[in-house]
């Protein structure tokens, strides 16, 4: 700082200014059609750092998403890399692109939402930069100090990074979504490095649903082993329809084959923090609580009064779910 | 299909939702002796196993907020590492692998974890001794540097790791190891198939499943549904005692394990206030309407 002042005005180059200033690169998650909502939460986290926010959009088709991101409030610049090598958003192909962008713009922070996409790529980028990555942050204390949970959410850990670049993923439910209008970012094309060619995306099978997306839903209804079968989940779907809720599940329900695994809420599944979380036939194991205990209001319906879920529930109903759930659905119909 | 036998798990990457048929081979012993008759070069697999506080233990934060209490607390192998270990042994049973090496980084007690891996079917172990302050600061970046060095030293073709350790919940080591080696990565795997010199990995992603094809050598991290780990039988535990565990250190491997990440404090999360029990569904709905949740 002091040395900077002692140099003549002519000698203060732009790069020097940039290094001093915070600038954050947010990796944009999308499906070539639409922006994934968690990116908006990551942008809010990036804005909290106080510097310039830049978004990188890479994919096979970036037009629509570029338009969308350019309007997000707080985004200064959008870097766009459209190329067939980004099919499937493989980390082996995206990482060299991020490194090239970083080399040019010298970011102080690089982040993404802590989704399957972000968790896959963020550590790869960090290792290439020889810095520690910080996973799933829930709070930013200052530009080098972050809070995250450990031991399935049973402890909060504050960490300080002395690395030149802070590379981290953001827990979506801990930061508000940035507003999708009012922004006016400039966009710039970046050319991708040559293909790594060590991996290939073959295909996907996504669970189709008309209900809101689990991680961003205002109301979530989850079922556990107590549902006894996949057919019985219909009770929850009926109730969910009344409440415009997403449906989730405990690991027990997934392992028993009642529902597909992408509905799992918990340490090893999704982390949700809706306004209302209704746990039906879920005992409340530590691993499940890790995924939902930041919900604003928790309701438990369980016939076992000793179930640990009642220790975190704001409202508990000790009852047979096969009676209580249809009753609740009927009541809401009125 | 290059695989012999008819024991490959269901191939479709859709309907089965990543669930594998639970195949528990009856006679697990004895398969190591015979050489693969196919010309396909069998792989050497390195499996990272971590010793963590047992998943069922309710952890306690130390009063001085420097960490959690680990002394006198039950430890066991990280559940995701068990799954990675099981998958390596299954690949060996299918003759895709000729040797499975289990490695763990940490203090003396890590040898118990390696011993467990040997009892599950690993051929030999490597203990990278890290103690004291170095162990406290040992994070995914440091472990991945160690694993990358070992991968080169042992000329491995595949590194299998759990997707995350249930203590730090970082979910980084596999990705970082792949980066340091410039190998492809198949993270959150719910199915792994060997085809020619490639790996077909079905991954658990947010909306469902996706399949990627990776050129070997590669790094794969296991999700919960990849398989159901076997229990080590008593005879296998006895046999494991005769298997070798080599000891080495980060220094010997030429790896710098200094860290620029420091833990400032560890605290208890905010406790939720105790709720109320309602008598019936009417009351429940009324309460929720009252506070504006529905």
The Cα-based distances of B85 to B101, B158, B205 in angstroms read 9, 12, 22
A204 Cβ under 8 Å from any chain B Cβ: yes
Query: Could you read off the pLDDT of B180-233 as tens digits, one per residue?
Result: 999 999 999 999 999 988 999 999 999 899 999 999 999 999 999 999 999 999
Run of H or E residues at B177: helix B173-181
More reliable by pLDDT, A4 or A208 = A208
Task: Answer whether B180's CB lies under 8 Å from B145's CB.
Answer: yes
Query: Could you read off the pLDDT of A275-305 as tens digits, one per residue?
Result: 999 999 999 999 999 999 999 999 999 999 9
A150 Cβ under 8 Å from any chain B Cβ: yes
Cβ A261–B280 below 8 Å, yes or no?
no
Which residue shows structure tokens 């338009």? A67
Confidence class for position B35, pLDDT limits 50, 70, 90: very low
Whether residue B37 is predicted with pLDDT greater than 50 in this model: the reply is: no
- Determine phi and psi for A137, rounding to 5 degrees: -70, 145
Mean pLDDT of B257-279: 93
Cite the DSSP H helix spans in A173-289.
Answer: 233-243, 251-255, 286-289
CB neighbours of residue A266 within 10 Å: 26
Three-state secondary structure call for residue A204: strand
Report the candidate in B208, B180, B222 with the shortest Cα–Cα distance to residue B45.
B222
Could you give the CA distance from residue A113 to residue A161 in angstroms, rounded to a whole number?
Answer: 19
pLDDT at position B17 is 37
Q: Three-state secondary structure along B104-116?
A: EEECCCHHHHHHH
Confidence class for position A171, pLDDT limits 50, 70, 90: very high
Whether residue B39 is predicted with pLDDT greater than 60 in this model: the reply is: no
pLDDT at position A209 is 86
Bridge partners of residue A315, in order along the sequence:
A299, B276
Query: Could you read off the pLDDT of B58-69 as tens digits, one per residue?
Result: 999 999 999 999
> What pTM, to 2 d.p., does this model score?
0.89
Confidence class for position A21, pLDDT limits 50, 70, 90: confident
Predicted ipTM of the assembly? 0.91
Bridge partners of residue B193, in order along the sequence:
B200
pLDDT at position B272 is 85
Whether residue B20 is predicted with pLDDT greater than 80 in this model: the reply is: no
Confidence class for position B9, pLDDT limits 50, 70, 90: very low
pLDDT at position A11 is 46
Chain A residue whose CA is closest to B293: A276
Whether residue B29 is predicted with pLDDT greater than 70 in this model: the reply is: no
Cβ B204–A286 below 8 Å, yes or no?
no
Chain A residue whose CA is closest to B13: A205
Q: Determine how β-strand B185-195 pairs with β-strand B97-106.
A: unpaired
pLDDT at position A3 is 42
Whether residue A17 is predicted with pLDDT greater than 90 in this model: the reply is: no
A120 interaction partners in chain B (CB closer than 8 Å): 175, 185, 187-188
Report the candidate in A12, A16, A41 with the shortest Cα–Cα distance to residue A28.
A41
With vertex at residue B224, the alpha carbon angle to CA B222 and CA B227, rounded to the nearest 5 degrees, is 80
Cβ A117–B208 below 8 Å, yes or no?
no
Whether residue B116 is predicted with pLDDT greater than 70 in this model: the reply is: yes
Cα distance from A204 to chain B (closest Cα, Å)?
4
Average pLDDT, chain B: 89
Question: Does residue B204 have a cis bond before it (omega within 30 degrees)?
Answer: no
Task: Answer whether A313's CB lies under 8 Å from A288's CB.
Answer: no
Cα distance from A27 to chain B (closest Cα, Å)?
17
Name the percent of chain A in helix, strand, coil, to the closest 5.
35, 30, 40
Query: Could you read off the pLDDT of A34-85 as tens digits, one per residue?
Result: 999 999 999 999 999 999 999 999 999 999 999 999 999 999 999 999 999 9
Whether residue B16 is predicted with pLDDT greater than 60 in this model: the reply is: no
Q: Is residue B72 packed enough to be buried (19+ CB in 10 Å), middle (13-18) or exposed (0-12)? A: exposed
List, as one string, the DSSP characters of B222-285. E-GGG--PPPPPHHHHHHHTTS-EEEEETTTTT-----SEEEEEEEPPPPPPP-EEESSHHHHH
Query: Could you read off the pLDDT of B128-138 as tens digits, one per residue?
Result: 999 999 999 99
Cβ A293–B272 below 8 Å, yes or no?
yes
């Amino acid at each position: 700082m002091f040395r900077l002042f002692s140099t003549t005005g002519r000698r203060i180059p732009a790069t020097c200014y940039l290094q001093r200033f915070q600038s954050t690169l947010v990796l944009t998650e999308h499906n070539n059609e639409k922006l994934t909502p968690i990116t908006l939460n990551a942008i809010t986290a990036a804005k909290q750092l106080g510097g310039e926010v830049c978004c990188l959009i890479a994919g096979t088709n970036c037009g629509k998403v570029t338009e969308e991101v350019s309007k997000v409030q707080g985004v200064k610049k959008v870097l766009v890399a459209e190329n067939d090598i980004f099919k499937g958003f493989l980390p082996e192909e995206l990482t060299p692109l991020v490194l090239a962008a970083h080399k040019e713009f010298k970011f102080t922070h690089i982040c993404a939402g802590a989704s399957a996409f972000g968790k896959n790529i963020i550590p790869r980028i960090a290792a290439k930069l020889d810095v520690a990555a910080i996973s799933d942050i829930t709070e930013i204390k200052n530009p080098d100090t972050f809070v995250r949970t450990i031991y399935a959410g049973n402890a909060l850990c504050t960490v300080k990074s002395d690395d030149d670049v802070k590379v981290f993923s953001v827990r979506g439910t801990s930061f508000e979504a940035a507003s999708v209008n009012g922004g006016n970012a400039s966009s710039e094309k970046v050319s991708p490095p040559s293909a790594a060619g060590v991996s290939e995306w073959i295909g996907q099978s996504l669970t189709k649903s008309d209900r809101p997306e689990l991680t961003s839903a205002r109301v979530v209804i989850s079922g556990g082993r107590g549902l006894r079968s996949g057919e019985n989940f219909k009770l929850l779907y009926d109730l969910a329809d009344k409440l415009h809720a997403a449906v989730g599940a405990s690991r027990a329900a997934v392992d028993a084959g009642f529902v597909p695994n992408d509905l799992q809420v918990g340490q090893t599944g999704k982390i949700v923090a809706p306004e209302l979380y209704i746990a039906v036939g879920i005992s409340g194991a530590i691993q499940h609580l890790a995924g939902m205990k930041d919900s604003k209001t928790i309701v438990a319906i369980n016939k076992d009064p000793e179930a640990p879920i009642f220790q975190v529930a704001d409202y508990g109903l000790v009852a047979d779910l096969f009676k209580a759930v249809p009753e609740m659905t009927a009541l809401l119909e009125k | 299909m290059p695989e012999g036998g008819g024991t490959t798990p269901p191939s479709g990457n859709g309907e089965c939702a990543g669930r594998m048929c639970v195949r528990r081979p009856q006679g697990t012993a004895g398969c190591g002796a015979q050489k693969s008759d196919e010309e396909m070069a069998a792989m050497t697999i390195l499996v990272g196993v971590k010793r963590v506080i047992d998943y069922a233990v309710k952890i306690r934060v130390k009063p001085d907020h420097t960490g959690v209490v680990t002394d006198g607390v039950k430890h066991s192998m990280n559940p995701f590492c068990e799954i990675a270990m099981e998958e390596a042994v299954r690949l060996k049973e299918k003759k895709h692998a000729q040797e499975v090496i289990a490695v763990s980084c940490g203090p003396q007690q890590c040898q118990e974890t390696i011993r467990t891996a040997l009892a599950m079917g690993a051929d030999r172990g490597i203990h990278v001794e890290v103690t004291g302050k170095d162990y406290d600061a040992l994070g995914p970046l440091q472990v991945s540097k160690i694993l990358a060095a070992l991968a080169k030293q042992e000329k491995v073709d595949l590194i299998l790791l759990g997707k995350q350790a249930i203590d730090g919940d970082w979910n980084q080591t596999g990705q970082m190891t792949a980066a340091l080696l410039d190998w492809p990565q198949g993270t959150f795997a719910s199915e792994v198939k060997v085809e020619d010199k490639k790996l077909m990995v079905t991954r658990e992603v947010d909306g469902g499943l996706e399949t990627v094809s990776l050129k070997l050598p590669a790094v794969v991290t296991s999700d919960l549904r990849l398989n159901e780990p076997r229990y080590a039988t008593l005879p296998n535990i006895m046999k494991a005692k005769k298997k070798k565990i080599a000891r080495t250190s980060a220094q010997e491997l030429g790896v710098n394990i200094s860290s620029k990440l420091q833990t400032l404090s560890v605290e208890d999360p905010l406790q939720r206030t105790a709720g109320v029990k309602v008598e019936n569904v009417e009351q429940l709905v009324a309460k929720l309407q009252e506070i504006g949740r529905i």
